Amino acid sequence: MQIALTFIASLLFGIGLIVSGLANPAKVQNFLDVAGLWDPSLAFTMAFAVITTALGYALVFKRSKPILGEAFYLPTANKIDAKLLIGASLFGIGWGLVGYCPGPAIVAMSLEATQTMIFLAAMLTGMFAARVLQLLFVPRPITQPSPSVKNV
């Protein structure tokens, strides 16, 4: 049941991205081009998304637990650090330059294969590079050996 509902929700989300124009990079770029061919229609999409989310949260959290789960799992991180700022900046720059972000790019695979596949390959390469850089340069806490381990 949960897989079927996840599929239906994902399908609705994808259809919403196509209908709203977020899967069309030219529409996104025109929305961001306030000095040129500005297309304000995506502002209505964003406003509708915020209203829908606010209503959804208000209804969902009246329940003590989800219908198909044991508990609500919400992010607990609230720290604004360099990693968050750099990631958000790169996300915004990439979205502005090419008109794609991850969700719409996945949906657009069925619409514009070549351009979308190039973007997705670059996105996956960037995600892999970020993971490698994090492993190489982000310090990890030093753990103390457990008492059962003897130093030889």
Per-residue pLDDT of the chain (152 residues; tens, 9 = 90+): 888 988 999 999 999 999 998 888 889 999 988 898 899 999 999 999 999 999 998 998 898 888 888 888 888 888 999 889 998 999 999 888 998 889 899 988 887 678 889 999 999 999 999 899 888 887 777 776 666 555 54
- CA dist 65 to 5, 60, 62, 69, 76, Å? 17, 9, 9, 7, 17
Q: What is the C-alpha to C-alpha distance for residues 20 and 14, in angstroms, rounded to an integer? A: 10
